[in-house]
Amino acid sequence: MSSTLIPLALAAAMFPGLIFAPDAEHDKTTVSSFDLSSYLGTWYEIARYDHRFERGMDNVTAEYLLRDDGKVDVINSGWRNGKMKTAHGKARQPDPSGEPARLRVSFFMFFYSDYRVLMIDEDYSVALVGSSSPGYLWILSRTPELDGAVLGKVLAEARRRGYDTSKLIYVDQSLNR
C-alpha cells in the first residue's frame, strides 16, 4: 500500500462517516424521551449486524454503569472460541437535554463512536440501537430470550427505519439462560 493511502485507510477504518457519505435512506433519529439511569445495567445481545469486533462471539452482554463524573462505564463481554472476551469502554451523552438517547462510546483512548437508541419500550426491557452509520444495528434485551411478538415489533421498527433485517445475526445466549 502506498504511503499516501495508509492514512486514508486508517481514517476509513476509524471514522467511516468521514470517508463515506451518510446513507440518507436510514432513519437514525433517536427516541425523544430517554432516561439514562433506567438504561443502566445489563443487556443481552439478541441480534446484531456482523462487524469485525464481535465476529464469532456468542453469549454477548453489555453492562452500563454510571460513574461519579457522569460518564458511563461500558463492559462488553462474550465468548469466542471457548474463551471469555471482555472489552472495557466509556460512554458520554454529548447533548443530554437536546438528544439524550445519543451517546458517544469509546473503547480506545479518545476515539468515540456514535451510539443511538432508536427504539426502547416503556419499561426499558428491549432496545434497538444503531449509529450514524447504517452498518451497525443491535437488538438488546434485559433477558437472554425475547418473546416472538416483541421481536417482531422490534424488527418491524428496524425495517421501517430502512435497515435490512435479513442481515441480522441472532446471538446464541444458551450460557446465559
Q: Quick one: 10 exposed, middle or buried, by C-beta within 10 A (0-12, 13-18, 19+)?
A: exposed
**More confident position, 23 or 74:** 74
Give me the pLDDT at residue 132, please.
92
In this prediction, what percent of the chain has a pLDDT beyond 90? 81
**DSSP codes, 95-151:** -TTT-TTEEEEEEETTEEEEEEEEEE-TTS-EEEEE-SSTT-EEEEESSSS--HHHH
Is pLDDT at 18 greater than 80 in this prediction? no
Is pLDDT at 161 greater than 80 in this prediction? yes
Give me the pLDDT at residue 69, please.
95
Residue 7 banded pLDDT, cuts 50, 70, 90: very low
Residue 10 banded pLDDT, cuts 50, 70, 90: very low
Nearest to 120 by CA among 106, 138, 94, 147: 138
**Residue 69, phi then psi, degrees to nearest 5:** -85, 5
For the domain covering 37-176, report its CATH number. 2.40.128.20
Give me the pLDDT at residue 24, please.
52
How many Å apart are CA 20 and CA 11, to the nearest integer?
11
Q: What is the mean pLDDT of the chain?
A: 88
Give me the pLDDT at residue 14, please.
40
Q: pLDDT for 20-65, tens place per residue?
A: 444 458 899 999 999 999 999 999 999 999 999 999 999 999 999 9
Q: pLDDT for 86-119, tens place per residue?
A: 999 999 999 999 999 999 999 988 889 999 999 9
Nearest to 155 by CA among 123, 118, 124, 125: 118
Sorted by where each begins, the domain ranges of the chain are: 37-176
CA atoms within 13 A on the CB side of 173: 21
